[in-house]
Structure 1
Amino acid sequence: MASAQVTGTTAQRPHAGGGAGSHGRARDWAEIQERMLVPLYQAVYRRLEVGPATSLLGLGCRSGLALLLAAERGAQVAGLEAEAELRELAEGRRLRVAGAGGVDRSGQSVPRSAYSLVTVFEELAYVADPAVLVLEAAALTLQGGHVVLAGWGPPERCESAGVLEVARRRSVRTPSFDPFALSSPGALEELCAGVGLRPAGSGRVSCPFAYPDLDSAVRGMLSTGLYGGAIEEWGPALVTKELEEALHPFVQADASVRMANVFRYVVAEQPR
């Protein structure tokens, strides 16, 4: 496998008012929210037949659940994650995850710059210029290998859209990035084509957000990092109150909370 230093673009990303690690919410992400995207991870891995022959890099891998699922399939995995709290949780899962400059906790670089699969499952919603991130993903992919980009589906298909609106409405001085900015038809494919990748398929996956109670739902949504700017401007009490109000229509008879959502992914090939 080709070897070179992993670039630091991902580690230097500007977050939408702070990542999932901000305000001490990394563990809520790992314990509550991350599992909501398991159907997306598994759908991609099934489609690409991820297994022992796969070398996988997760860009913006967060606390590493997607990497862990790929490793269980036999893949060789590594990750890049900017948030130190999230990176520590991933390392607790015995995953090799690097931060700034592609350096892991032991001080060693993650050197493999050519992977058969590079995934960008959550990161696109957190960067100011997604094209730069996709260019990085392409540069780290073997010829004939694949890049996977994923994001929210159309807002009209996502019941969480109104809950996420709290972040936009309350982030005045620190505008939040729009998580649905790339949900329009062809947007992800255009990003791939712009860096020379060849689209090789796409799919939509149902990812319901389900929580045992309202408190877990609030903690889970806050852990996404999309509410960081709102919290900084208005404080956690007000943002939490508005989140509870926005979540109220989705509270079930047993006090659990459930929101139907659709996520979309695109598979692109690095030409030989």
Structure 2
Amino acid sequence: MASAQVTGTTAQRPHTDGGAGSRGRARDWAEIQERMLVPLYQAVYRRLEVGPATSLLGLGCRSGLALLLAAERGAQVAGLEPEEELRELAEGRHLRVAAAGGIDRSEQGVPRSAYSLVTVFEQLTYVRDPARLVVEAAGRTLQGGQVVLASWGPPERCESASVLEVARRRSGRAQTPDPFALSAPGVLELLCAGAGLRPAGSGRVSCPFAYPELDSAVRGMLATGLYEAAIEEWGPALVAKELEEALHPYVQPDASVRMANVFRYVVADQPR
């Protein structure tokens, strides 16, 4: 069970209208898409031996599955999520998740301003200024603690790349962030070094995106948040239609949909 509250982040995702559509996509994230990244979460937690001695802050924790998995290992977890709909879903899982203006306090009421582990599993994909977000993560990490940054792997190793291209093609002047901008070798390490962190290792994790049928695949991909600008520009029906077409090469004989993907993470130390 999560037990700590946290303050808000300065980094934000692209604007959504907060209406029924975005709320439905938030639920689709929690019910369909979030589990696709479980291999990434678990690989990091195993490598860092996350457990009762860990105080963990998830920056951009979305609906909180990564926090739940850490809490099951005994970690004291907290989350930060700027989107209200996702934050409500995390709170429905009995997690302590805040947006801007929260106050860090431990379960005993002792102020907490830093954590032994800060994870940025998804948010780097959404922000305009990743370096600023990494500086924030470093500032919330205890001396001797660690920061984990994650991103998509190389596009040639990710079958979802062609499907994500729909977001870029239909985003208009909003210029949706490139999900593969940080996938080149050494980019995450440079971000860490620029924030005063010391890169201490990295890894690649296979995260196949698998859905029982095409409708779930469309809803899951729309829930990533990368299509918001395209939806505002063209409407959800047209974007969903193009997604169906892009997904057709990955439909299996049993009507399920499967795309092989690789995600990359970097572990960095906060010097003492």
Q: Is the contact between residue 147 and residue 267 of structure 1 (CA under 8 Å) also seen in structure 2?
A: yes
Instruction: Report how far residue 82 of structure 1 moved.
Output: 0.4
Q: What's the counterpart of residue 219 of structure 1?
A: 219
Paired amino acid for 1:265: Y
Paired amino acid for 2:191: L
Q: How does 1:1-272 map to 2 (within 5 A)?
A: 6-10=7-11, 13-15=12-14, 22=22, 24-102=24-102, 111-272=111-272
Task: Call closer, same or farther: CA 1:111–1:85 in 2, change over 3 Å.
Answer: farther
Q: Is the contact between residue 54 and residue 75 of structure 1 (CA under 8 Å) also seen in structure 2?
A: yes
Instruction: Report how far residue 101 of structure 1 moved.
Output: 1.9
Where 2:183 maps in the other structure, the secondary structure is: coil
Instruction: Report how far residue 15 of structure 1 moved.
Output: 1.8
Distance in 2, Cα, partners of 1:129 & 1:111: 29
Distance in 1, Cα, partners of 2:243 & 2:110: 39
Q: Provide runs of 4+ in structure 1 moved above 3 Å.
A: 3-8, 16-19
Paired amino acid for 2:36: M
Task: Call closer, same or farther: CA 1:79–1:63 in 2, change over 3 Å.
Answer: same
Instruction: Report how far residue 112 of structure 1 moved.
Output: 2.0
Paired amino acid for 1:6: T
Distance in 2, Cα, partners of 1:262 & 1:219: 21
Task: Call closer, same or farther: CA 1:130–1:111 in 2, change over 3 Å.
Answer: farther
Q: Is the contact between residue 64 and residue 95 of structure 1 (CA under 8 Å) also seen in structure 2?
A: yes
Q: Is the contact between residue 55 and residue 77 of structure 2 (CA under 8 Å) also seen in structure 1?
A: yes
Paired amino acid for 1:270: Q
Report the TM-score, using the length of structure 2 for normalisation.
0.92
Q: Is the contact between residue 53 and residue 75 of structure 1 (CA under 8 Å) also seen in structure 2?
A: yes
Percent of residue pairs identical: 82
Paired amino acid for 1:9: T
Q: Is the contact between residue 192 and residue 199 of structure 2 (CA under 8 Å) also seen in structure 1?
A: yes
Backbone CA RMSD of aligned residues: 2.1
Residues 150-185 of structure 1 show CA distances to partners (whole Å, capped at 9, x for unaligned) of: 010000000000000000000112111000000000
Residues 10-64 of structure 1 show CA distances to partners (whole Å, capped at 9, x for unaligned) of: 4xx1427689x83531100000000000000000000000000000000000000
Q: Is the contact between residue 18 and residue 226 of structure 1 (CA under 8 Å) also seen in structure 2?
A: no
Instruction: Report how far residue 236 of structure 1 moved.
Output: 1.1
Where 1:173 maps in the other structure, the secondary structure is: helix
Q: Give the gaps of 5 or more residues in structure 1.
A: none
Task: Call closer, same or farther: CA 1:5–1:224 in 2, change over 3 Å.
Answer: closer
Distance in 2, Cα, partners of 1:110 & 1:168: 45
Q: Is the contact between residue 122 and residue 150 of structure 1 (CA under 8 Å) also seen in structure 2?
A: yes
Report the TM-score, using the length of structure 1 for normalisation.
0.92
